[in-house]
Amino acid sequence: MPKITLPDNSVLDFSTPVLGKEIAEKIGAGLAKAALAVSVNGELRDLTAVVDADATVAVITPSSPEALALMRHSASHVLAEAVARLFPGTKFAYGPAVDDGFYYDLDPATPLTADDLPRLEKEMAKIVKANQPFVRRELTRAEALAKYADDEYKTDNINRAKGDVLSFYEQGAFSDLCRGPHVPSAGKIGHFKVLSLAGAYWHGDHSQKQLTRVYGTTFATKEELEKYLRQIEEAKKRDHRVLGKQLGLYEFHAEAPGMAFWRHNGVVLRNTFINFLRELCYAHDYEEFLTPQILNRELWEISGHWENYADKMYVTTKDGRDFGVKPMNCPGAVLLYKAGLYSHHDLPLRWAEFGHVHRYEGSGEIHGLIRVRGFTQDDAHIFCAPAQLEDEIAHCIEFIFKVYTATLGMKFDHIELSTRPPKSVGTDEMWANAEAALENALKKLNIAFKLNPGDGAFYGPKIDFHVADAIGRTWQMGTIQVDFSMPERFDLHYVDENSARQRPVMIHRAISGSIERFLGVLTEHFAGDFPLWLAPEQARILPISDAVLPYAKEVKKQLAAAGLRVTVDGKNEKIGAKIRHGELAKVPYLIVIGAKEAEAQTVAARRRVRGDLGEMTVAALTARLTEEVKTRALPPSGEVKNN
């Protein structure tokens, strides 16, 4: 009979098979009341699941790490029941939990609008109050197909499901194909909010009918929900798509979906950031290369992209030959390596490339600069001997920290080490050595990390860096990947100290990952208030009248000579209006010049966030700005102000 080992290593003995909820009751009435599910040997199960063998069991409560996803998954079923009540005839695709909430994809008989969201939320509240239990039922595949014969979405899901016996969950009058588990009853889904509507294609296939996706979220406490809703409101103010247009950085047009149109300010921002990365690359002994955007099919077949990535590639045929627009830069770097002859004396080779790539993303996946079809990768491909691998990984990690923490003041939410997936290339020894090299590099630098088993690339393990922005959202940004596949596929070699040919190891390193995505995140992180060194327009001179315009132009000339990006607002407007325009444009320094300043050959300066700095000489202002640029100082007090 089952012997249950608890997280504190204490043991409970039962004379018969036991339910998860009975284990919780045995521990204590308070725990049983709070229980949402149980973890049996690491597998999450319903409280009604039977444990009939020795096992390690943990009771999941709202404070457990696993609880939120469980509650959100259950909340999606409650949402679906609310839709079924209010919109009879609706067909249901699927409703998973996601990182910040849940959604359900629906095919309603009558269209849903934003005005329906409060009604859905109110109906969900009724269902929660009724507190109907989630009940698991099992059907054979044949029984399930018969039950849902008139529902093309459920039939498709049933056909895709694994196993001959499928599970369904019922709460109230609603039933859905679902692996589970769920909280014990609808009243346990926590504090929720129905948030928005969007369109989504069935299985992401744009050739299929567009469904209605309803988004919501839930949290264990009211305070957590309110904090999240405040974060959403703050995120709206920081939306990079809105700020991009407002600040003259970038915009988007239907003529090129998923691709940014960069205006002058955006080009300045982009080039300034790229030049910063380029400067660091040169300081870290990288050479820079640039490879073609279109390469022939034969290359992509050798690299494996034609077989495994063709649906994401843009393809063209000319002169009877197939060509692919590159979705990645690495095959070009490999060709350059293969064209040379290298010995162990030459390694490591650190090759940087700011290469423009294109990947086809579904229309429902495109989102401003965050998810685009055309973007620039700040790639580096490092070719090294196996014995150099650990040092090169550490070198890359330090580079990433230099950019994110030392320069931009961004914090890492967490860092993941992803290990060998089920499908992979390379020997056991290769994988063991590469994983050890990644882990050892992190440990030597005293960097905490999470292990992400089985989520490495097919060609090697990787480290992913997840960054927290100014309002607490996390973004997966930089990455370091070890690659066995490319050197093998392209038969790359170097000559070792014994004049023998050896296979190099290839490291893929991206600091920002995508320049476009990174600048989108950075725009939202700083709310458009970029540090002075990054700001496209660093200072704007505001003459009070036409009489002082010649002096204003002379001040601009002096500041520009120091390498500063300065404009003059010579419009015939009152100074208050000019200041307001400068604030809306989020120009770091506004320089007011009136008759007094012109006569004294001084200026009156204002710094965003900090306010008036008083009167000073042009030389003093120049020194102040150039020092702030040189040190790449963050905005005053680290604050970000929204105007």
CA angle, 471 then 477 then 478, to 5°: 140
Of 19, 76, 77, the closest CA to residue 50 belongs to 19
Rg for the chain, CA atoms, rounded:
29
Q: E strand or H helix at 421, and its extent? A: none
Whole-angstrom distance, CA of residue 606 vs CA of residue 626: 16
Read off φ and ψ for residue 494, nearest 5 degrees. Answer: -140, 165
Average pLDDT, stretch 10-28?
92
What's the pLDDT tens digit per position in 263-273? 999 999 999 99
Three-class secondary structure of residue 76 per DSSP: helix
Find the catalytic residue in 178, 281, 330, 396: 330
Of 491, 494, 432, give the one whose Cα is nearest residue 460.
432
Provide the pLDDT for residue 145. Answer: 92
Tokens matching residue 255 = 């003529």
CATH number of 539-638: 3.40.50.800
Reply yes or no on whether 330 is catalytic: yes
Average pLDDT over residues 113-134: 96
Interatomic CA distance for residues 283 and 188, integer angstroms: 56
pLDDT tens track for 169-181:
999 889 999 999 9
Handedness of CA 584, 585, 586, 591 (dihedral sign): negative
Catalytic residue among 359, 473, 509, 606: 359
**What is the three-class DSSP state of 60?**
strand
180-201: per-residue pLDDT in tens? 999 999 999 999 999 999 888 8
- Short-list 258, 522, 242, CA closest to 371: 258
From 105, 116, 378, 379, active-site residue: 379
Residues with Cβ < 8 Å from 89, sequence gap 6 or more?
A: 108, 109, 110
Q: What is the pLDDT averaged over residues 69-85?
A: 96
For the four alpha carbons of 186, 190, 193 and 199, in that order, the dihedral sign comes to negative
Question: Pick the catalytic residue: 171, 377, 388, 538?
Answer: 377
d(CA 322, CA 324): 7
Please give the structure tokens belonging to residue 15: 């004379």
Amino acid occupying residue 127: I
Give me the residue label for tokens 């500063």: 564
Give the end-to-end CA distance of the chain in Å, rounded to a whole number.
Answer: 67
Q: Hunting for tokens 């979220």 — which residue is that? A: 217
Question: Tokens 């790229």 label which residue?
Answer: 274
CA atoms within 13 A on the CB side of 260: 29
Unique residue bearing structure tokens 């299929």: 208
How much is the mean pLDDT over the chain? Answer: 92
**pLDDT tens digits along 595-642:** 999 999 999 999 998 899 999 999 999 999 999 999 999 988 644 343
Amino acid at 560: A
324-359 per-position pLDDT tens digit? 999 999 999 999 999 999 999 999 999 999 999 999
Summarize the confidence of residues 296-322 as an average pLDDT. 89
Whose structure tokens read 């003093």?
Answer: 620
* Catalytic status, residue 540: no
Tell me which amino acid residue 187 is. Answer: G
What's the CATH fold of domain 268-291+326-515? BirA Bifunctional Protein; domain 2 (3.30.930)
Residue 462 annotated in active site: yes
**b/e burial code for range 603-618 (CB count within 10 A of at least 16 → b):** bbbbbbeeeebeebeb
* Phi-psi sector, 592: left (phi>0), alpha (psi -120 to 50), beta: beta
Amino acid at 359: R
Other residues' Cβ atoms within 10 Å of the Cβ of residue 450: 11
Tens digits of residue pLDDT in 424-446: 877 888 889 889 999 999 999 99
384 a catalytic residue: no
In this prediction, residue 641 carries a pLDDT of 41
Distance between CA atoms of 643 and 635, rounded to whole angstroms?
Answer: 15
So what's the pLDDT on residue 637? 61
Residue 324, C-beta contacts closer than 8 angstroms, at least 6 positions apart: 294, 295, 296, 297, 300, 305, 306, 310, 313, 314, 315
Q: Which of 508, 509, 606, 608 is catalytic?
A: 508
User: Is the per-residue pLDDT at 204 higher than 80?
Assistant: no
Q: How far apart are CA 160 and CA 164, in angstroms?
A: 11
**Catalytic annotation, pick one of 381, 395, 509, 525:** 381
Beta bridge partners, 193, equal 217
Query: What is the structure's pLDDT at 207?
Result: 76
Handedness of CA 556, 557, 558, 559 (dihedral sign): positive
Write the class of the CATH domain 3-60.
alpha beta
CA 638 to chain centre: 23
Those residues whose C-beta lies under 8 Å from the C-beta of residue 418, and which sit 6 or more positions away, are 452, 453, 454, 455, 456, 457, 461, 462, 463, 464
**For 552-569, what is the mean pLDDT?**
97
396 is catalytic: no
pLDDT for 423: 81
DSSP assignment of 169-184: EEETTEEEE------S
CATH assignment, 67-231: 3.30.980.10
**Mean pLDDT within 471-492:** 90
Percent of the chain exceeding pLDDT 70 equals 99
Q: What is d(CA 151, CA 88) in angstroms, rounded to the nearest whole number?
A: 14
Q: What are the DSSP calls for 567-631, one per residue?
A: EE--SSS-HHHHHHHHHHTT-SEEEEE-HHHHHHTEEEEEETTTEEEEEEEHHHHHHHHHHHHHT
Contact status, residue 24 vs residue 5, Cβ threshold 8 Å = no
**Cis? peptide before 348, omega within 30° of 0:** yes
Q: Which two tokens stand for residue 309?
A: 């990535």
Domain assignments of the chain as residue spans, ordered by start: 3-60, 67-231, 268-291+326-515, 539-638
- What's the rounded mean pLDDT across residues 156-166? 90
Peptide bond into 181 cis (omega under 30): yes
Kindly give the residue spans of alpha helices, DSSP state H, lying in 297-404.
Answer: 297-303, 305-308, 330-338, 389-401
- State the residue for tokens 């960069």: 262
Q: What is the arithmetic mean of pLDDT over 223-229?
A: 94
3-state SS class at 96: coil
The pair of three-digit structure tokens given for residue 175, joined into one six-digit string:
């039933």
Tell me the two tokens of residue 102: 């849940």
Given 154, 182, 270, 462, which residue is catalytic? 462
The per-residue DSSP string of 443-458 comes to HHTT---EEETT-SBT
Tell me: pLDDT of 282 over 70.
Answer: yes
| Rounded Cα distance, 392 and 444, in Å | 13
pLDDT of residue 137: 93
In terms of Cα–Cα distance, which of 434, 465, 474 is closest to 447?
465
Tell me the C-alpha distance between 37 and 184, whole Å.
Answer: 7
